[in-house]
Amino acid sequence: MPVEVYRVDDRLIHGQVVVGWAQPLEISFLVLVDDGVAGSDWEQDLYRMGVPPGMVVHFVDVATAAQSIPAWHGERRKSLVLTGDIDTMRRLCAATPVVRAVNLGGVHHAPGRRQRLRYVFLSADEEQVLREMASTGVVVTAQDVPASRPIALDQLLAGTDLS
């Protein structure tokens, strides 16, 4: 079964992911692709606490994720693949052609970033990375929760009609 969502969210595993997305989409297989968390037992324990019973969660680095994505697409369970930042998603997309759509779900304020949405702030470098991802055929949209309207990358970067 294809991976339902490839999401960028700097809050990693939290309520919006495990409740907002996983419940309505019946996702029971969650993968956090993060080199730091993959190497930290303590952080894995912390984030595992937020995973409801019946949901399987894997913590992997980018290289492992790239190797494992074909197997994830063969899973009977619906899955969601999560990264904490745009660069990690870029590396994942570069490592495998399987990723065809990316959801920007939470990229919050940091120095050098400009606000594009209530939940999306981007630096010039990040905007360029997203444009390059889109130029390879990856559909990039911003959408915090399933009930909200997805916003296309062009519209996001143009900064118009984002109500």
Partner 1 sequence: MVAAHGELAAGLVSGVEAITGRGAHFIAFSNRGLAPADIERAIRETVEGANLDVVFTDLPMGSCAIAARKVQRLRPQLLVVTGVNLATLLDFSMADGVPPREAAERAVARGHEALGTIGTPKHAG
| DSSP label of 150 | P
- Using CB under 8 A as the binding rule, whether residue 27 contacts partner 1 is answered as no
For residues 77-106, which are near partner 1 according to CB under 8 A? none
Binding segment (CB under 8 A) for partner 1, from list 22-30, 95-103, 107-115, 134-142: 107-115
Q: Which phi and psi angles does 59 have, rounded to 5°? A: -115, 115
Residue 78, judged by CB atoms within 10 A of its CB (0-12, 13-18, 19+), counts as: middle
For residues 42-81, which are near partner 1 according to CB under 8 A? 42, 46-47, 49-50
Binding segment (CB under 8 A) for partner 1, from list 41-49, 87-95, 96-104, 132-140: 41-49
Buried (b) or exposed (e) across 134-161, using 16+ Cβ within 10 A?
beeebebbbbbeeeeebbebeebbeeee
Q: Which C-beta is closer to partner 1: that of 135 or that of 163?
A: 163
CB of 73 to partner 1, least distance (A): 27
Residues that bind partner 1 (CB under 8 A): 10-15, 18, 42, 46-47, 49-50, 108-110, 118-119
